[in-house]
Amino acid sequence: MIEKQVMKQLETLRRHQPLPLKIRLWQGSELALGEAAHVTLRLNSPGAARALLNPSLQSLGQAYVEGQVDLDGPVSEAIRLADRLAQSNPASRKTGRLPAWLGRHTRRSDRRAIAYHYDVSNAFYQRFLDARMVYSCAYFRTGYEDLDSAQLQKLDHVCRKLLLKPGQRLLDIGCGWGALVMRAAAQYGVHAIGITLSQNQFEWAREQVKRAGLEDRVEIRLQDYRDLDESETYDRIASIGMFEHVGLKHLRTYFDQVYRLLKPGGVTMNHGITSSDVDSREVGLGAGTFIDQYVFPDGELPHLSFAIRELAAAGLELTDAESLRRHYALTLQAWSDRFEAALTDLSDLAGDKRARIWRVYLAGCAHAFGAGWINIYQLLAIKPRPGPRGQESPLPLARDYMYRDDWRPERPGVD
């Protein structure tokens, strides 16, 4: 009886929303919802039909993660079909929710959220990240680079934008596995401090610094940005892929701390994911709910305008904003492809449920950035220094220096 009801509803779906998708029910019967189906969804129980017949990205993702549904075929194609199913359901097309403004982002809750996401195991991340373990958007000059080359280009792109010079003090807030501070110290001659809330990242980064012989120039700390000693100041401050964890109501606190720690005439860069919704609502169609539930607890994405407002309110002067949305779509697709190639090993390392979460998360985010649901920006700013001709900037008048490997100031002594 249940099988007949489900098949009848699927027939209705096929008439109104034909898709290149095949559905296989728990008792073995099949129905193609369109021609040239490259993806098959296997419903493992009658309860799994609810997610399909009232689809959202949250309900479909949850059904897969919890093992109610299995997937045969390319995961990237499955994500595109899930998007089309969710778009066809009026109930799922509601605008994403406004963020919860209260009761989040204490030091304890932030440590717990970071541990949930990052402390799976270093071996887990090694399977799909590049050799330097850079877990943030790569930078593609052509779009055809391999992941390792694109991530190295990103590190150098950041270092050039910050105009790093030998002897400067660099702070990296949310340093991950240490790739930026190591590159900055080894190639640009700075003294670097990196902070993270992840125990696994802390231990890995310290070991890599030791192996590279950079202990005299790089220090890794297990520390919250709010606990940094304000008597220590820095010439340059970077934060790559961290402020998504700060929380909207704490963005001003975050940028205030950056301002206090930055020397007058200093330069800072904030590289972070932003909402495409001007009210900083979560991603719609249930995607934001899925990510909050399974991937990034308490993650909140500000719209670009809100991030710039809070940055400026802290006293920093924005000098450059660059969207890397297309770059992140390419990065996530590369991660997703690597994840697919190592899926069996990753399931053994982290368990089947965690591997399912990450499988749909990486492919889903590649789709989201490609579709423009979310964006990512590098915001370059300075802490102006009063001078005889007004507020002075340490940066050149033109942006040439950001993109030319051989750029040097034309006159000796020019900052």
**405: number of CA atoms within 13 Å, CB side?**
6
Answer whether 63's CB lies under 8 Å from 51's CB: yes
Alpha carbon distance 276, 372 (integer Å): 7
With a CB cutoff of 8 Å and minimum separation 6, the contacts of 243 are 174, 251, 254, 270, 272, 307
Structure tokens at 320: 């450059």
The pairing of strands 218-222 and 191-196 is parallel
Task: Round to the nearest angstrom and report the end-to-end CA distance of the chain.
Answer: 77
Contact 271, 300 (CB under 8 A): no
**pLDDT at 176 (0 to 100):** 95
Question: Phi/psi at 56 (nearest 5 deg)?
Answer: -145, 165
365 a catalytic residue: yes
Compute the half-sphere exposure of residue 296: CA atoms within 13 Å on the CB side of its CA.
19
Structure tokens at 152: 């190295």
Dihedral of the alpha carbons of 157, 147, 291, 356, in degrees to the nearest 10: -170
Pairing of strands 21-24, 30-32: antiparallel
Does residue 390 register a pLDDT over 80? yes
The beta strands (E) that lie in 130-288 are given as 169-173, 191-196, 218-222, 234-240, 262-275
Q: Which domains are assigned to the chain?
A: 2-92 (3.30.1050), 107-403 (3.40.50.150)
Catalytic residue among 137, 159, 175, 365: 365
Q: What is the mean pLDDT of residues 170-185?
A: 98
Least Cα distance to 352 among 74, 84, 65, 159 occurs for 65
Q: How far apart are CA 147 and CA 138, in angstroms?
A: 7
Pick the more confident residue, 244 or 380: 380
Q: What is the pLDDT of residues 37-53, one digit of tens each?
A: 999 999 998 888 888 87
Q: Is the pLDDT of residue 283 over 80?
A: no
What are the pLDDT digits (tens) for 126-172? Answer: 999 999 999 999 999 999 999 999 999 999 999 999 999 999 999 99
Between the alpha carbon of residue 166 and those of residues 158, 182, 186, 389, the distances in Å are 15, 14, 10, 27
In this prediction, residue 247 has a pLDDT band, given cuts at 50, 70 and 90, of confident
